Chain A
Amino acid sequence: MDDSVLVDLDVEEPNCYLFQKGGVDTTGEASRPVPSVDSVKCTLCGKCGEVCEFHAIVVLPREVMVFEELCHGCGACSLFCPEDAISEKGHLVGDIVSTSGDAYDLLYGRLRVGEAMPTHLIREVRKHIPEGRQAVVDCPPGTSCAPVESIRGADLCILVTEPTPFGFHDLKLALGVTEKLKVRTAVFINKHGLPGPDIDSFCNDNGIPVIGRLPLDRDIAERYSRGELLTRVADHRRVFESLRDGIKEMLTT
């Protein structure tokens, strides 16, 4: 899509960068605040451990232990420390990468392996979306906090599904999310042609537009496996051109 920037918010397993060549990465680190205890000022009173709802601080007889992986960065410990002994330092959660290759301008997050919470990084990557550019976002899977953080505030959410009982079941769960977030939703059917549930009828009955269909086709699977973009193959390109037109139409009405 013209003038848009692709934003990969599946920070646990980002893949969009694999589908284009060239481009120079600009990489920045993202970190979240965690407590740093000044052992000279600290009197081991235990207040920080008491106010931490995430059990990230344990006050031992001779030291304060901080479990950075559990910390949500709420700032309660430093706020309530009576000795002003707690400041904050950065805990590295991952990288934020901007690149423009031969296919698209891309912005993505890459969660550090072992880091449990992706939402902070997702919020940080979103802050880097250039002002005035249309963002096309690749969301993480599921229905938990990470996809919610990625979908929140969007103008349109496209749910990709497939006509299998599993795809249909997950589609209904995902619709629960977009409904809750009050985000306008359309459905794209992948592997169209499988003899499964009738997604078209379901969407029709529920007033959800079906914005495109990609057939089940070994050629598509093989091209994807090699990291080829389907938009560069005339037959498949049509599907995505009509998807683009459908999106434009939905965004202007």
Chain B
Amino acid sequence: MKEIVVVSGKGGTGKTTVLARYAEIANSAVIADCDVDAPNLHMLLNPKMLHREAFVGSKMAVVDPKKCANCGKCEGLCRFDAISTVDDDGRKRVDIDIDSCEGCGICVRVCPEDAIDLRDRIVGEWFVSDTDYGTMIHALLEPGAENSGKLVAMVKHKAKMTAKGSGAELVLVDGPPGIGCPVIAALSGADIVVIVAEPTVSGLSDFRRVADLAGGFKIKCALLVNKADLNCEMTASLLEEAIRREMPCVGTIPYDEGLMAAMAKGADAAMEYQGSPAIVEISKTYDTLLWLL
């Protein structure tokens, strides 16, 4: 079983479009959407949900107002400014802001009244779905929740288990933007990482940072330049940067307003828009990738 992960430093560079095409061509891969805070792949692949489950990602402190004596010990020790004393019509009450609480439990341990509890916090949901192109594992993090890295690791794990169970030879992973914890979780264990980059000054900077990250983990990477003809000089800079890193380039996709318009109309229009110059090039990159694997 091989695993291909598609990432980019920023959102909106076209990685989901690329991954949906790969899923279509592979036709029997297990598909994992690891952009768990703003997933989009399901909008192209029309999954039929087979299973859903809550995801417990962290803990949170909950105070019992009946036991609390308002001593303030917890408030002084919380490093995340999650605890405050509020005035409820003249009565003081300790309030814990669950969005700031990181679940360290220091308040639970110092409370002399035993008034604070650490409880499991449901931070999202994950799903197993059926698509026309294979089984898809995806998830949705609750707005503002921590630990998206843990949820990403979970989605990847389920995808690999599914592939093992069904004998699928390929796992295709749509990665999250950035270089933080969810990206690190998405990269780990990949056989190859495709970095989608746009030929812009910011695209070059984003490419360097995500390539540094993957390089640090000694994962094999490949560059894919999207909207390459938008700025040929900058495309050349991206290619030079890839060469310097001994990283292969799997292809260059042209700027294609026709495809953008098809994508705007929705999933069916986008997936059926076969004649697009961009789509033709994306399909070619898939063959190159398999050869690299």
Contacts and interface: CB of A to CB of B under 8 A. Distances in A.
Contacts of A148: 99, 143-144
Interface stretch (B161-169, B226-234, B276-284): B226-234
B123 to A, nearest CB: 9
Given A12-B179, A141-B178, A146-B180, A114 B104 contact: no
Contact of A222 (B16, B205, B231): B231
Interface string B104-124: 111001100000001000000
Given A114-B213, A117-B181, A143-B144, A191 B260 contact: yes
A76 B105 contact: yes
B156 to A, nearest CB: 16
B212 interface: yes
Contact of B104 (A72, A152, A164, A221): A72
A23 B209 CA distance: 23
A233 to B, nearest CB: 16
A140 interface: yes
B148 A144 contact: yes
A51 interface: yes
Contacts, number: 178
Given A76-B106, A111-B180, A144-B144, A169 B43 contact: yes
Nearest to A16: B202
Contacts of A49: none
Nearest to B263: A164
B145 to A, nearest CB: 6
A218 B258 CA distance: 12
B83 to A, nearest CB: 12
B37 interface: yes
Contacts of B174: none
B40 A166 contact: yes
Interface string B167-198: 00000000011111111100000000000001
Given A72-B104, A216-B257, A195 B264 contact: yes
A10 to B, nearest CB: 8
Interface residues of A, number: 57
Interface residues on B, range: 35 or more
B179 A164 contact: no
Contacts of A103: none
A116 interface: yes
A180 B143 contact: yes
B230 A170 contact: no
A53 interface: yes
B264 A218 contact: no
A90 interface: no
A32 to B, nearest CB: 10
Interface in B239-292: 255, 257, 260-261, 263-267
A13 B230 contact: no
Interface stretch (A38-46, A58-66, A202-210, A223-231): A223-231
B222 to A, nearest CB: 19
B129 interface: no
B102 A176 contact: no
B79 A144 contact: no
A218 B144 contact: no
A148 B40 CA distance: 20
A145 B146 contact: yes
Contacts of A73: 79
A18 B59 contact: no
Interface of B: 9-11, 16, 35, 37-38, 40, 43, 59, 77, 79-80, 99, 102-106, 109-110, 118, 141, 143-146, 148-149, 176-184, 198-203, 205-206, 209-210, 212-213, 216, 227, 230-231, 234, 255, 257, 260-261, 263-267
26 contacts: A12-B178, A12-B179, A13-B202, A51-B106, A74-B79, A74-B106, A75-B106, A79-B77, A111-B179, A113-B212, A118-B178, A118-B180, A141-B10, A141-B178, A143-B144, A144-B148, A145-B145, A145-B148, A164-B260, A169-B38, A180-B143, A196-B263, A218-B255, A225-B203, A225-B231, A226-B234
